[in-house]
Structure 1
Amino acid sequence: MNSTTISVPSTPLVPTLVHGNSAADISQARQAARVFTDRLTPAPGSDMADTLVLVVSELVTNALRHGGGQYTLQLAAGPGAVTAAVSDPNPEHPRERTPDLGGGSGGFGWHMIRRLTHHLTITPGPGYGKTIHAQLPR
């Protein structure tokens, strides 16, 4: 059962909230990120919007794959930055691993997220889990 919920703000400073628990929900998170950036005033450049969509995709994929099979994504914007915050029920922090160049088992996501974001923090909660806050300059 797909439990995706998307709330797109009528004003850009109101956060967007997305919940997901399946691989099909990754595209919903990407779509929400694209709609969010499209509604910002002033509009960010296409490079920043594309980067946010990529970061969101990697964060929610990692939450599904390594964080307990579900996520909550919150997108917010301020005058100087856009933030994607992804929460999952696993309290363990992401760990870097050597990317698999031949077998297709991944290892690229956390490296990309760290390189593409301006500021990255991990906080405990909600509950037993964690939230990863990825910030990109506007």
Structure 2
Amino acid sequence: MALTAELPATSGEARDRVLALLRAGHLQIDDVVVADALLITSELVTNALRHAGGVTGFTVRISDDSLEVTVEDASPLRPFVPSDTRDGRIGGYGWSLVGQLATSVVITSTAFGKGIHVALRLR
């Protein structure tokens, strides 16, 4: 089961699509796993919008016992974890969270930037 449609304009819209897919799958999924899926989605889309020229592709699907989210953006630069020297800036922890919560993360180059494919085990 997959969801592909118009590109999400906001991270909230992307989260809504993920939640709709999870509900449509009629799976018994722990609330913490759902929260993790929504956080991962939000971080990927927010980073694409804020730092990478926008979302150029968005796909979410359930495959076996995993949720797979792919976000493509317009930047070839890979996400990074900022150094400990923050200079008073807030934020910059989302990419670390994605790596900690996801079952797998794969970054690929695309013709117009990059794609980040994240899988999260649902059970």
- Partners of 2:73 and 2:114 within 8 A in 1: yes
* Alignment coverage as a number of residue pairs: 120
Is 1:38 the equivalent of 2:23?
yes
If asked which structure has higher relative contact order (CA below 8 Å, sep 6+), I would say 2
**What pairs with 1:1-138 in structure 2 (closer than 5 Å)?**
13=1, 15-17=2-4, 18-21=6-9, 25-98=10-83, 100=86, 102-104=88-90, 106-125=91-110, 127-138=111-122
Query: 2 CA distance for matches of 1:89 and 1:61?
Result: 13
SS at match of 2:58: strand
Root mean square deviation, CA, Å: 1.8
Query: 1 CA distance for matches of 2:13 and 2:98?
Result: 19
Give unpaired runs (5+ residues) of structure 1. Answer: 1-12
User: How far has the Cα of 1:102 moved from its partner?
Assistant: 4.5
Identity of aligned residues (%): 27
Stretches of 4+ moved more than 6 A in 1? none
- Partners of 1:20 and 1:71 within 8 A in 2: no
User: How far has the Cα of 1:78 moved from its partner?
Assistant: 1.2
**Alignment deviations for residues 81-117 of structure 1 (CA, whole Å, 9 cap, x no partner):** 111110011111111113649532x111101000010
Q: Single out whichever of 57-66 and 33-42 deviates more from structure 2.
A: 33-42
Change (3 A) 1:103 1:97: closer
- Give the structure-2-normalised TM-score: 0.87
Query: 1 CA distance for matches of 2:34 and 2:56?
Result: 21
Give unpaired runs (5+ residues) of structure 2. Answer: none
Q: Which residue pairs with 1:6 in the alignment?
A: none
Query: 2 CA distance for matches of 1:91 and 1:82?
Result: 25
- Partners of 2:55 and 2:71 within 8 A in 1: no
